[in-house]
Structure 1
């Protein structure tokens, strides 16, 4: 049955364009995943906090390599948009920021992220979400982004608020964790929100972009 409205986000955004590198500030970027990131992801998932809130265990390095490959491939399929948070100069992995559960026709997606222990306490998660959201709204054309986390995850609640995601309510018993079902906070940000203006005014100059891969476009946040 034909739809009465056009798709909000064009599939060509993903199928016909290279995944961009996004500037985060303070010498960091969001870049596509590379095979070499596997060992660092494996180490990251030994952290109890990452395992607790993401409910995923990394049993072998080979298993994690498969994750990284899947994250990289998801771009062209239009099923998800996964970025590594990395040092622009050294390439060192600092975390992950993603759009998943993407509904291109409706222009909706869900934001997810994690940060390695050594990079916490610097506001990195909120800056990565800022960069991701601005690209999603201003370049890809998404209409609504959602962000969910356990009501017990106070740090994620702070990230959501700092990145202008409004708390809309609680999804009861909606997230299964190792210790049972959790109620989940639902935050959202809509492109037309009055507070959803460019959020990077406080950032420093755009850092150098790592040379690998050299052909990727770079999206720089407006000041």
Structure 2
């Protein structure tokens, strides 16, 4: 049975090319992950704030190396796209991560996710990286809609969403399980043309 509409983005949108390095235009670079990033990612996941707002922990460098290999494979599979966030022109010290998760190319939809290392907090790194990624996804690549979800209690993530131009659309009740129990979630979104 034929569809009445064409896919927003065709299969191959990611896999036909190498994952790009993106400049945010304000001093940050989003670059594909490298195996040598494993120690910095492992260190980031030792932070208690990561344990509060994320559902994974890193128990070893080997485990993190496997994550990074998986992140690299997800680009070719067109299921997710993950970038390391570093300063432009710097030595490449890791500031955080920004990603498109749950990519549905045919619908032109994905979810934005991010985290930052403790030393990067308070510098708008997450908001700047998210804004840069949204610009690339919506304006350059052709996604129609990006969603951003966070626990309602995570006020810092709410500020990131607002600074990045993601409008609050509502609350998903009891939608996210963290180590301390179920959390209500804010749903924010940004669509092409916002």
TM-score range, shorter chain: over 0.9
Measure how far apart 1:43 and its partner are. 0.3
* Structure 2 match to 1:55: 55
Aligned counterpart, 1:216: none
Gaps of 5+ in 1: 197-223
- In the alignment, structure 2 segments of 5+ residues that lack a partner are none
**CA distance, structure 2, for counterparts of residue 80 and residue 190 of structure 1:** 18
CA contact (8 A) 2:111 2:148 kept: yes
Q: Secondary structure at the match of 1:63?
A: helix
SS at match of 2:106: coil
What secondary structure, in the 3-state scheme, does the structure 1 residue paired with 2:14 have?
helix
Contact 2:28 2:129 in 1 (8 A): no
Q: With CA pairs under 8 Å and 6+ residues apart, which has the higher RCO, 1 or 2?
A: 1
1:139 offset after TM fit, Å? 1.6
- CA distance in 1 between partners of 2:138 and 2:27 (Å): 23
Partner Cα separation in structure 2 for residue 168 and residue 80 of structure 1: 23
> How big is each residue's C-alpha offset from its partner over 1:157-176, in whole Å with a ceiling of 9 and x where there is no partner?
00001111110110000000
Other-structure match for 1:181? 182
Residue 26 (structure 1) shift: 4.7
Normalized against structure 2, the TM-score is what? Answer: 0.96
**Equivalent residue, structure 2, for 1:151:** 152
How many Å separate the matches in 1 of 2:69 and 2:2? 34
Q: TM-score, normalised by structure 1?
A: 0.84
Displacement, 1:145?
0.4
Q: Cα RMSD over matched residues?
A: 1.1
Equivalent residue pairs, number: 193
